Each structure stands twice: as structure tokens, then as C-alpha cells.
């Protein structure tokens, strides 16, 4: 039986067991995917115990994604550039870290907005946390010519831009409305607009009609940002798909079958509290 799971602290909120469990049943795979509550001080030992416990690998979530990079045997290029790993695989008894969040983001975006081309123009990215790093790397790899990055804490955006290169331009958070002019994409990677969080305040007046708007917040599924964008005729993509698509290559690596993201999967994951 193939084994995988997700390590986090706390871990109760994770939708990954429901997501992978759905695919395990759908594909009739002889395998299991479990939630593993791992405190930060135990992460190294828990990761290194995976080979002897017969695990194919694990996903990592808050607060382990950055720390794990220093605890594994190898780190691939995308994880190194993002500065985080959400997926550690056991290969011949060794731990190999990768990151499937950038894949999840870009696949969700291009599936949800098939006419979007990153090369078409600048992208405005709100937020400079962990999710933003994966979004920026994905956009750069897809050929986006310019990323306009804005964050409440400017120093965090400056650090991200310095790590990623010249195509990332930092703009003051207070100027976020004005950088929407000529943008081909607007992405919210902050927690603003999420259930229980403050609203995202932004005026879309200058955003071109052809621009795509993506919110990585998926609770609620249709955020106020997406509602406002839809009302003025912009194509919108919700955030649930990023979660679903990041799991796709992880499942394939853990269990040897490439699963599909379907409406039934979306409904199943949304039904989890
Ligand atoms: P994640 O890994 O999901 O990106 P994170 O690293 O905690 O989570 O980042 C949260 C993002 O939401 C950050 O960009 C944060 O801005 P700061 O770096 O200034 O904290 C942003 N954010 C959270 N609350 C915010 C608020 N009230 N106003 C503006 N930005 C906020």
C-alpha cells in the first residue's frame, strides 16, 4: 500500500486529506493519505522517518514550507526559487523537495481563463507573503514581462523583488489603484477578503476590460473582488483551483496516477468544513 500525507501545525483545517482521498477512491488506488500533526521542533525527525515508515512522500503546509528546505537531501530549482517546499518525495530513501504551488496557480489561471497569455502585459500582484512568491515565479516562467508588486509591508515586497529579479517592480500599497492601468492580470495573494478577515479595498476603475482577475482566497469562493470584477465585465478565476491543481502532480508522484480536476472534486472539497 502506498502512503502519503500532509504535515502541518495545526493540521485540522487542511483540505488535502479530502482531496487526495477523493482521487484514491476514484482511481481505486491501494493507498492512504493522512493528516500528520507535526510541531516545528519535530519536523526534521518526522521527515527523516518517512522512508522507514514506507511513505512515498508528504505535502507540507503552514508553518513548515520554508524550514523544510534545510532538512532535506535535495531541493529542485522551482522550490529553491520560491524559497519554500509544499511537497517532499522519498526517492531511494532520500528526501527530495519540490514545489507544486506555481504549477497549481498557473494551471488554474489558464484553465479558468483560456484566453489569458502571461506575455500579453503586466500583472499586478497584491501581497508579498509565501503565496505571492509562488505566483510571481509562475508568472515569470510563463513569460510575464512585468510584475507590479504591492504589499502593505513594503520591505517584504522589496525583499521578494530583490530575490526574483528585474521584471518585478515594487509599488506603494497606497498606489495600488493606479497601477491597474494597462494590466493584463490582477491577482490577490493577500488574506484580505477571506472569511473572518478585513475586506480588500481596491478601486478597479483603471483596470482594462480585457484584464483577468484572480483571487487566491477561496473562502468565500466568490470574493467581493471577483464580484466587482465580474460586474464590470472582466474575466474572473476563483482560488479553489490553485489548491486542486497543486495537488495534481503531488498525487501523481505519490501514487503513480495522474488525476483530474473535475466539478465533482470541487464540490467534494467545498463540502468539507
Ligand atoms: P501566505 O503564505 O498565504 O501568502 P502570509 O505570508 O501570512 O500568507 O501573507 C499574507 C499576505 O496578506 C501578506 O502580503 C500580508 O501583508 P503584510 O506583509 O503587510 O503583512 C497581507 N495582509 C494580511 N492582512 C492584511 C491587511 N490587513 N492589510 C493589507 N495586507 C494584509
C-alpha cell at position 152: 502593505
Q: What is the mean pLDDT of the segment spanning 235-259? A: 98
C-alpha cell at position 250: 503531488
Which pLDDT band, with edges at 50, 70 and 90, does 211 fall under?
Answer: very high
- Average pLDDT of the chain is 97
pLDDT recorded at residue 264: 97
Q: Is the pLDDT of residue 20 over 80?
A: yes
Delimit the domains of the chain by residue range: 2-99+243-270, 103-238
Which pLDDT band, with edges at 50, 70 and 90, does 205 fall under?
Answer: very high
pLDDT recorded at residue 63: 96
pLDDT recorded at residue 35: 98
> What are the tens digits of pLDDT across the range 135-161?
999 999 999 999 999 999 999 999 999
C-alpha cell at position 207: 483596470
> How far apart, in whole angstroms, are the C-alpha atoms of residue 228 and residue 224?
6
> What are the tens digits of pLDDT across the range 174-191?
999 999 999 999 999 999
Taking CA atoms, 162 is separated from 152, 167, 169, in Å, by: 17, 10, 9
pLDDT recorded at residue 226: 98
Nearest CA to ligand 1 atom 18: 153
pLDDT recorded at residue 110: 97
pLDDT recorded at residue 41: 98
First and final CA of the chain: distance in angstroms? 28
pLDDT recorded at residue 266: 96
Report CA(232)–ligand 1 centroid distance (Å). Answer: 26
Architecture of the domain delimited by 2-99+243-270: 3-Layer(aba) Sandwich (3.40)
Asked whether the CA dihedral 225, 231, 232, 238 is positive or negative, the reply is positive
| 230 assigned to active site | no
> How far apart, in whole angstroms, are the C-alpha atoms of residue 201 and residue 5?
37
Task: Decide: 105 and 140 in contact? Cβ < 8 Å.
Answer: no
Alpha-helical regions (H) of the chain: 16-27, 43-48, 77-82, 101-112, 130-141, 154-164, 224-231, 240-255, 263-270
Q: Calculate what percentage of the chain has a pLDDT beyond 90.
A: 99
Report CA(150)–ligand 1 centroid distance (Å). Answer: 11
Instruction: Return the best residue to mutate from 127, 130, 175, 216 for the ligand 1 pocket (most ligand atoms within 8 A of CB).
Output: 127
Taking CA atoms, 171 is separated from 129, 146, 151, 178, 180, in Å, by: 15, 12, 8, 10, 11
Q: Is the pLDDT of residue 23 over 80?
A: yes
> How far apart, in whole angstroms, are the C-alpha atoms of residue 251 and residue 269?
15
Domains 2-99+243-270 and 103-238 share a fold: yes
Q: Under CATH, domain 103-238 is a member of which superfamily?
A: NAD(P)-binding Rossmann-like Domain (3.40.50.720)
Q: Is the pLDDT of residue 273 over 90?
A: no
Q: Calculate what percentage of the chain has a pLDDT beyond 70.
A: 100
Nearest CA to ligand 1 atom 30: 152
Amino acid at each position: 500500500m502506498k502512503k502519503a500525507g500532509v504535515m502541518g501545525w495545526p493540521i485540522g483545517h487542511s483540505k488535502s486529506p479530502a482531496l487526495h482521498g477523493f482521487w484514491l477512491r476514484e482511481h481505486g488506488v491501494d493507498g492512504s493519505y493522512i493528516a500528520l500533526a507535526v510541531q516545528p521542533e519535530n519536523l526534521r525527525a518526522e521527515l527523516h522517518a518517512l522512508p522507514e515508515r514506507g511513505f512515498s512522500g508528504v505535502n507540507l503546509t503552514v508553518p513548515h514550507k520554508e524550514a523544510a528546505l534545510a532538512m532535506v537531501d535535495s531541493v529542485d530549482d522551482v522550490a529553491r526559487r520560491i524559497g519554500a517546499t509544499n511537497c517532499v518525495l522519498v526517492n531511494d530513501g532520500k528526501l527530495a523537495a519540490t514545489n507544486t504551488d506555481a504549477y497549481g496557480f498557473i494551471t488554474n489561471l489558464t484553465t479558468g481563463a483560456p484566453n489569458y497569455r502571461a506575455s500579453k502585459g503586466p500583472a499586478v500582484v497584491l501581497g508579498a507573503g509565501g503565496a505571492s512568491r509562488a505566483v510571481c515565479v509562475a508568472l515569470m516562467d510563463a513569460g510575464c514581462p512585468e510584475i507590479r508588486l504591492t504589499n502593505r509591508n513594503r520591505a517584504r515586497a522589496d525583499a521578494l523583488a530583490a530575490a526574483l529579479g528585474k521584471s518585478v517592480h515594487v509599488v506603494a500599497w497606497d498606489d495600488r489603484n493606479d497601477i491597474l492601468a494597462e494590466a493584463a492580470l490582477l491577482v490577490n495573494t493577500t488574506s484580505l477578503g477571506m472569511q473572518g478577515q478585513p475586506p480588500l479595498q481596491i478601486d478597479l476603475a483603471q483596470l482594462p476590460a480585457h484584464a483577468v482577475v484572480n483571487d487566491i482566497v477561496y473562502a468565500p469562493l466568490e470574493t467581493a473582488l471577483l464580484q466587482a470584477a465580474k460586474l464590470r465585465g472582466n474575466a474572473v478565476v476563483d482560488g479553489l483551483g490553485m489548491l486542486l491543481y497543486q495537488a495534481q502532480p503531488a498525487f501523481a508522484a505519490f501514487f503513480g496516477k495522474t488525476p483530474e480536476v473535475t466539478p465533482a472534486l470541487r464540490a467534494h472539497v467545498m463540502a468539507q468544513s
